[in-house]
Amino acid sequence: MVNILVTGATQGIGKAIAEELSDVGTIFATGRNVELLREYKNYCVCDLATDVETLESYIQSKKIDILINNAGEYIYGSIDKMTDEQIREIFEVNLLAPVKLIAKASVNMKKNKWGRIINIGSISGIMGEANASLYSSTKSGLVGLTRALALELAEYNITVNTVNPGWVDTEMGMTSVELSEFFKDEILETIPQRRFVQPIEIAKLVKYLVSDDAKGITGQSINLCAGLSVGI
């Protein structure tokens, strides 16, 4: 059995991924809410914005084979209203933490000549999103990171891919709807399939990408967005 670490595993997409991969290997969950994490047998309480070192050490000790960088933060507002603290925090959580965790996890993967790294990006990192420039730029950064690392790690039989969800029916997704300037029905009108993506859809795609059937897929940025990325 392989060891799988899922960041942000207490709710939404992360929880769905952890549940879906429970028959693939041993799940190691991480998040900030200790009460919610206790439903997992193996967990590490960590705030990626301030204490990523704790999780780096945890990854090394558990010899992670599959890393799912799912945890993320969303900030809505014009660029001139963003504080230095907001800028620092969203880049720490959405981009710098994945870089640091991959650096630690890849040591064991390279040693074993096998590994899977999945970054959960966003369609906002592909298309851009007005008044969410910090979020969009961090998620776009994951795409570049994925492409470069896929080349760097290919010889070790390690694949690296990014999944870019569109509007997802999660607590974070609905919060971002509330923060936006549009009503839910107006947002649905911009989505070709006229629906929000369900977390299980993302989880099932991740399950395929970590399987041996997908060993030839690496360096890819896959949009799972109900058609949002191709227009109305």
Q: Please state, in angstroms and rounded to a whole number, the distance separating the CA atoms of residues 130 and 212.
A: 38
Q: Please state, in angstroms and rounded to a whole number, the distance separating the CA atoms of residues 31 and 36.
A: 9
Amino acid at 79: I
Contact indicator for 69, 101 with CB cutoff of 8 Å:
yes
Give the tokens for residue 47: 């705030």
43 carries an active-site annotation: no
Q: Which residues contact 140 (CB under 8 A, 6 or more apart)?
A: 121, 125, 126
Of the candidates 58, 135, 156, 208, the residue annotated as catalytic is 135
Q: Please state, in angstroms and rounded to a whole number, the distance separating the CA atoms of residues 210 and 217.
A: 10
Q: Is 23 helix (H, G, I), strand (E, B) or coil?
A: helix
Catalytic residues: 135
